[in-house]
Structure 1
Amino acid sequence: MQSICQPVALKAGQSLGLPCADGHSKIYFLTGASVALLVESPVQHTLAVGLVGSEGAIGLGSVLSPVPGRLRCRVQTGGSAWAANSHDLAMLLHQRPGMLWVISQYLWQLAEHVATMSASVQFDDIGTRLAHWLVLSAERAQSVRLPLTHEHLAQMLGVRRVSITLAAGDLKTKGLIDYQRGVVNILDMAGLRECAHPQQAMLSAHV
């Protein structure tokens, strides 16, 4: 695998998944960055339906199908990754078919993640969704210090900036987070997890 990969540095805000000059796509195996999976509306509104970190990769679907997917990929937290050409990886999979099973398992897990995130838009309030996104961001970035502005969070959750300001203010009042100058610091991860998964917390309290 390493023979077809090159180390790259991804920058926050960078778009991934666009075809290269040779017509093939790049696949990124993340090692220090996190990437948001976005759905964009015709009027340029965005909604994040997933977040991938060092546990996963971006662009693996291009190995299985040349048809571009609807999800857009944007780097949330800059960092390192290994990049491979989709054609090169496809050739490697022909030589090592066992790798295809591993990739298929990961893509299934990613589909479950996207489904869960999509459902939360319908069933959870903004405060719960914000707490969940911050927990997820910390896990993917492996840091409790997150360079995330309110404007960025509003784009990720598909809501107005004022809604993020109110929800973040509530989390700050509870002593779970602090924020200033575009940086969110998580002060109480356990408490934030309870806000992110209130149903699970209620079940645990009755066990």
Structure 2
Amino acid sequence: MTAGQSLGVAGERPHLTYFPVDCLLSMVSTEGVEALSVGREGTSFPDLALKAANLPLDVVVSIGGRAWSMKTSRLQAMAAADDAIHRRLAEAHHAAFCETALVSIGRAKGSRMGDLARWLHRGCEVTGRVSLAISHAHLASLLGTRRQTITTNLAEMEGMNLIATRRTLITVRDLAGLARISDKPAY
């Protein structure tokens, strides 16, 4: 999977369902603002495997890496025939719903820097990497802000020794520090 790759368009039914290994997929609005990210804990379209009609959002690869894939129709047939598979897909769908809720609450209550810290922390968690290849412009689009805001916030985080940046590569030095300043509400 390569960063920026489109995996699905809102309103359509994708032929393949993806299972991230060490990449990060983002479900985004038509403007490119992220509502949900999915990593190795889930699947690109858990609701489709549970018989939803089509995609509610566009799906893009935010951080490139590896993913397994299978035909969506085959996964649906497997879920219909096997309760354990159906249950696991329902759990992935529930996790996606909870992540979406946390993102919404965090953005409503928090700061741009906190939202960026949450995103970077999540990116490291789900990819298993400390270095994330992503541009300031793409981060700005995903977080619904300006590139200059991302650049300023990254510089401030770098000054706090939480991260190191180099063009389109962000290396996290202090994951726990990012978690402390993130806008992820606790349940």
Same fold per TM (> 0.5)? yes
Match of 1:134 in 2: 120
> Structure 1 residues 63 and 189, CA, compared in 2 at 3 Å: closer, same or farther?
closer
Instruction: Confirm or deny: 8 A CA contact 1:30 1:81 kept in the other structure.
Output: yes
* 1:68-95 Cα distance to aligned partner (Å, 9 max, x none): 2322111112222221111111222232
Give the Å deviation of 1:173: 1.1
> Structure 1 residues 76 and 198, CA, compared in 2 at 3 Å: closer, same or farther?
closer
Matched, 1:101 2:92: no
Instruction: Confirm or deny: 8 A CA contact 2:50 2:79 kept in the other structure.
Output: no
Number of residue pairs matched by the alignment: 184
* 1:8-59 Cα distance to aligned partner (Å, 9 max, x none): xx1111111359xxx762111111221112122xxxx221122111111112
Give the Å deviation of 1:158: 0.6
**TM-score, normalised by the number of residues in structure 1:** 0.81
Give the Å deviation of 1:103: 1.2
> Structure 1 residues 122 and 97, CA, compared in 2 at 3 Å: closer, same or farther?
same
Q: Report the AA paired with residue 14 of structure 1.
A: Q
Give the Å deviation of 1:171: 0.7
Match of 2:5 in 1: 14
**Unmatched segments (≥5 aa) in structure 1:** 1-9, 201-207
User: Partners of 1:24 and 1:142 in 2: how far apart?
Assistant: 27
**Unmatched segments (≥5 aa) in structure 2:** none
User: Partners of 1:66 and 1:198 in 2: how far apart?
Assistant: 28
Match of 2:108 in 1: 122
Of all paired residues, the percent bearing the same amino acid is 25
CA RMSD of aligned residues (A): 2.0
**TM-score, normalised by the number of residues in structure 2:** 0.89
Q: Report the AA paired with residue 2 of structure 2.
A: K
User: Partners of 2:78 and 2:61 in 1: how far apart?
Assistant: 27
